[in-house]
Structure 1
Amino acid sequence: MLSAFPWLAAASLASGIVSLGFMRYLWPYRNRLGGRFFLATIGCEALWSLSYGLALFVFDPALREAFEVPIWIAINFIGVFFLAFALEYTGRGHILRSKVMGGVVALQALHTLVVVTNPLHRIAWSDYTVEPTHGLATVVYAHQPWLFVNAAGFVLMIAVASFLLADTVFSYGPLYRTQAAAIAVSPIFPGLPFLLWLAEVGPMPPLNLTPLLFPVHLAFDMYAFFSRDLFEMVPAARRVADRAAIDNLGSAVVIVDSGRRIIECNDEASRLLGTSRDDALGRRFETCFDDVDLDGDNEPITRRRGGRKRTYAVATSPLTGSAGAAVGDTIVFQDITEERRREQRLAVLNRVLRHNLRNDLNVVTGYLEMAEERVDDEDVREMLDVAAENTAGVVELGEKARHIERALDADVDDPDTVELRPLLDEIAEDLSGAEPDAEVVVDVGGDATLRATPSLLETVFENLLENALEHDPSDAPRVTVRVADVETEPGFLAVEVADDGPGIPEHELAVLDETEETALEHGSGLGLWIVKWGVDSLGGTVDFEVTESGTRVVLKLPAASEAAASHGEAGHEA
């Protein structure tokens, strides 16, 4: 009569059947990252469990020893497949094609060959005998050194794979934490009885209870698969994205540790260094970049690449650990060669056009005035007047460009609190002095304040009001500035500038939405561009609405405070 022990054999068979069932559910995911290797791992567990369960009912010594072959094949390749799964699942798939991984597979194949041929040489185990215990075909054999080496490799691979999965738990936060932790912990349960059996700890003859704990291991795997989207959220994507973010940045990136040694760099950085990435790793940063100060502000540096000089802007940022301690620095080298060239060319052209053109046109203006005084023909005098007027317009345009440059170069990163009413009153007074028949109505409460660069804000409103008056053909042009009763984001104040002129032509507004002006569609002046650029620099938005009664421009600009924005609206409604 069988005691309770044969139920352990039945439990081993049941464990194998459960493993096969789990493989059936995993099959559709075989092409996901890590899927095929995870399937192979469960398959090895099924082979081990089924072979061991059947072997416990085989009492013929030769046949019983033959069952050790599939058991040890499963043992040898569980570690290989589980390690391969961990590598691919965590984004280290390139290691699978390395010589090291090839050596691991070759070593396990050698171990398997030794097990298969063990009856010929007995270097894995010896003195193999069947000693029935409680109705089970238990065996006793002497573990030879090769067997311990074989088992050590299996344990080491499982440990490395678990470490890689555990590293994902700590490196990538909660997104992949649960499923990676479940899979990393699961090998502990079958691993412990395997080590006890290997060390021959327990009753004699010892039973290898490892297959009996595979269901516990599978329970963790099933939890990761069914509850935590094992193959839907794969940490390999995060790891590949981290690597790609550095490689595809387009700028040279160097990462150093607290000892200022290079621990990572992308391909662009290695080209900047003039060496391979592997050669760069481990070198001290200052030996490669002696003109870069990681603790201070850095001016652009110049390097030769491909026989040409390139200019790089240097940006450094510290790396800190979980405790807030500095662990290194990230240094980004951005190639600004073309940008510098464009700036230099524009600066030269700007200086030549502004200085030389202004001086030459002033001379032209003087000669036109002299010629007009000496000419009696009215037709000629009229032509000279037109030439003088156009010349003055070009000079005025150059002066406006100079004011624009100064305004846009203002420090927008350190804005001030600006009271809107006094600023608008001053602009209105200046415009009324230049055009006595024009009327500028300022309907803005005294509490309306903005957070802006004063000179830039003044330039924006000055151009809006000036354009509204200049392009109104009536004898008494009128423009009104008021706080607009429109919906805005919290912390913003809407200001409306409205006129009763003919309206801004559609093609003038269309070019503001284009990336560049074209030959057939261009603005007639700088005014609208000044407004657009200025508002963008101030962190606001501008909308134009043209109707039959005129043009309505709504500017939404950062208010000095939430209270200021609400006070401005309250003042307008009152």
Structure 2
Amino acid sequence: MEDPDPELYREAFRSADIPMLIADTNFAFRDINDAGLEFLGYDYDDIVGESVGLIAADEEIYYEIVEQMIAGETWSGEFMARRKDQQVVYGQGFASPMVVDGDVEGFLAFFVDTTKQRRYENASEVLNRLLRHDLRNELNVVYGYTQQVASRIDDEQALEELDLVQEKVLEIVHKSERARDLREHLERSHDVSNHPVRLDVVLNNKIVDAMIEFPDAEFQFGSFPEVEVIGDDLLGEAIECLLENAVMHNDKETPRVEVSADRDGGFVIVRVADNGPGVPEEHRDLIFGREEYDQLHHGTGISLFFADNVVSSYNGTIWVEDREDGDGAVFCVRLQEQSTVDD
């Protein structure tokens, strides 16, 4: 039986839908398939010839792989890679020496993208910890107020303190229900791949839902571009979190929320502006839960943390700005258009 045509192997390598790369004995890129280029965000000519260390986001894992390749052994495990845009992505990988006539001619590696799974697992874990943390603190407050009411039940101020108790109880109920709902959404979307989502449909639906949930707030919006963006079933939940935040953390008698979306060179920027107290610059990472966990209770907590993780899973970004025309904040979400990915 004749050996298969080498071109067949080359075509199989290039067309495989999992990222694959070949490195030479100096650990420089010799070849990489289309799935690998997409995963790492590079063009072919930009990466071939460069050191594989270019993409290493964890030096310890990288040197472990190099040592096993030099020893002629295979390697498998979890790894972290750094894309061209400096974003860190995660994967499960396998690497092996390529031996020809007894000599090592290079190294083959392939891997499965687990970035979305890792982010959702981390988000689910922190949501659980955050829920327990907030519940404990809020219940301590409730206990303190009830003690005060009991000690001076005939005091007129007791009625005011009782109102505070009721408010705190409602906060506990809301936080527990919100955390439960968001965790359920994360678990349902655990294995769902990113896919095209009609942004205008999502925005219109979620704004209508918010108008029903918050009848005392004013929502202003126009027509949205009829475009598809990279997302999944959680995009609507992330938008809902931003609308909810704009109302619930608003100190005005009538919260006003303005929603807009504009195309921007292959991306779409969604803006949710409010007339609330704004967000000091030094707190802008804190409110998304990007700081240490023990500082999270100083921020708005669950909803913004959830939205940040969901948007990041689409390789999108979310940030907050000051309003230029008055008090308040503008929460911005940058999403990639589907047409840009296809081109």
Within-5 A mapping of 1:422-571: 422-445=201-224, 447-455=226-234, 457-484=235-262, 487-488=264-265, 490=266, 492-511=267-286, 512=288, 515-516=291-292, 522-547=298-323, 548-562=326-340
**1:412, distance to aligned residue in structure 2 (A):** 7.2
Give the equivalent residue in structure 2 for 1:51.
none
Higher fraction of strand: 2
SS class of match (2:174): helix
SS class of match (2:270): strand
Deviations 1:145-196 (CA, angstroms, capped at 9, x unpaired): xxxxxxxxxxxxxxxxxxxxxxxxx966999xxxxxxxxxxxxxxxxxxxxx
**1:316, distance to aligned residue in structure 2 (A):** 2.9
Give the equivalent residue in structure 1 for 2:160.
382
Give the equivalent residue in structure 1 for 2:72.
264
SS class of match (2:260): strand
**1:321, distance to aligned residue in structure 2 (A):** 7.7
Give the equivalent residue in structure 2 for 1:249.
63
Q: Distance in 2 between matches of 1:247 and 1:395?
A: 44
Contact 2:250-2:277 within 8 A present in 1 as well: yes
**1:248, distance to aligned residue in structure 2 (A):** 5.8
Contact 2:229-2:337 within 8 A present in 1 as well: yes
Deviations 1:206-258 (CA, angstroms, capped at 9, x unpaired): xxxxxxxxxxxxxxxxxxxxxxxxxxxxxxxx8xx9xxx89962469756xxx
Q: Distance in 2 between matches of 1:377 and 1:384?
A: 11
Contact 1:499-1:551 within 8 A present in 2 as well: yes
The verdict on how the C-alpha distance between 1:475 and 1:248 changes in structure 2, with shifts beyond 3 A counting, is: closer
**1:510, distance to aligned residue in structure 2 (A):** 4.5
Amino acid at match of 1:468: A
Q: Distance in 2 between matches of 1:406 and 1:471?
A: 24
Q: Distance in 2 between matches of 1:449 and 1:387?
A: 46
SS class of match (2:268): strand
- The alignment yields a C-alpha RMSD, in angstroms, of 5.2
Q: Distance in 1 between matches of 2:194 and 2:72?
A: 39
Deviations 1:110-133 (CA, angstroms, capped at 9, x unpaired): xxxxxxxxxxxxxxxxxxxxxxxx
The structure 1 residue matched to 2:174, chosen from 396, 405, 408, is 396
Q: Distance in 1 between matches of 2:329 and 2:68?
A: 53
Amino acid at match of 1:508: H
Q: Distance in 2 between matches of 1:404 and 1:520?
A: 17
Q: What 5-or-longer segments of structure 1 have no aligned partner?
A: 1-169, 176-237, 256-261, 270-293, 300-312, 333-338, 566-574
The verdict on how the C-alpha distance between 1:329 and 1:531 changes in structure 2, with shifts beyond 3 A counting, is: closer
Q: What 5-or-longer segments of structure 2 have no aligned partner?
A: 1-23, 30-50, 79-90, 101-105, 112-117
Q: Distance in 2 between matches of 1:393 and 1:514?
A: 23
Q: Distance in 1 between matches of 2:60 and 2:282?
A: 43
**1:452, distance to aligned residue in structure 2 (A):** 0.5
Q: Distance in 1 between matches of 2:257 and 2:92?
A: 48
Deviations 1:253-289 (CA, angstroms, capped at 9, x unpaired): 756xxxxxx96249xx8xxxxxxxxxxxxxxxxxxxx
Q: Distance in 2 between matches of 1:376 and 1:403?
A: 41
Q: Distance in 2 between matches of 1:315 and 1:436?
A: 51
Higher RCO structure, 1 or 2 (CA under 8 Å, sep 6+): 2
SS class of match (2:284): helix
Q: Distance in 1 between matches of 2:306 and 2:215?
A: 25
Contact 1:496-1:555 within 8 A present in 2 as well: yes
Deviations 1:441-478 (CA, angstroms, capped at 9, x unpaired): 332436122220122x1222111111112233333322
Q: Distance in 1 between matches of 2:160 and 2:309?
A: 38
The verdict on how the C-alpha distance between 1:377 and 1:522 changes in structure 2, with shifts beyond 3 A counting, is: closer
The verdict on how the C-alpha distance between 1:554 and 1:321 changes in structure 2, with shifts beyond 3 A counting, is: farther
Contact 1:477-1:501 within 8 A present in 2 as well: yes
**1:508, distance to aligned residue in structure 2 (A):** 3.0
Quick check: which has more Rg, 1 or 2?
1
Amino acid at match of 1:430: D
Q: Distance in 2 between matches of 1:418 and 1:331?
A: 29
Contact 2:73-2:97 within 8 A present in 1 as well: no
Contact 1:246-1:253 within 8 A present in 2 as well: no
Contact 2:250-2:276 within 8 A present in 1 as well: yes
Q: Distance in 2 between matches of 1:503 and 1:428?
A: 21
**1:539, distance to aligned residue in structure 2 (A):** 1.1
Percent of residue pairs identical: 25
> How many residues are aligned here?
256
Contact 2:289-2:299 within 8 A present in 1 as well: no
Q: Distance in 1 between matches of 2:63 and 2:330?
A: 43
The verdict on how the C-alpha distance between 1:418 and 1:330 changes in structure 2, with shifts beyond 3 A counting, is: closer
Deviations 1:478-536 (CA, angstroms, capped at 9, x unpaired): 21211236x44x3x222222223332244431525964256599314333323322221
Give the equivalent residue in structure 2 for 1:225.
none
Within-5 A mapping of 1:281-320: 315-317=93-95
Amino acid at match of 2:212: G
Within-5 A mapping of 1:322-337: none
Q: Distance in 2 between matches of 1:513 and 1:248?
A: 29
Contact 2:260-2:272 within 8 A present in 1 as well: yes
**1:386, distance to aligned residue in structure 2 (A):** 1.0
SS class of match (1:426): helix
SS class of match (1:531): helix
TM-score by length of 1: 0.36
**1:330, distance to aligned residue in structure 2 (A):** 6.5
Amino acid at match of 2:270: V
The verdict on how the C-alpha distance between 1:173 and 1:331 changes in structure 2, with shifts beyond 3 A counting, is: closer
**1:411, distance to aligned residue in structure 2 (A):** 3.7
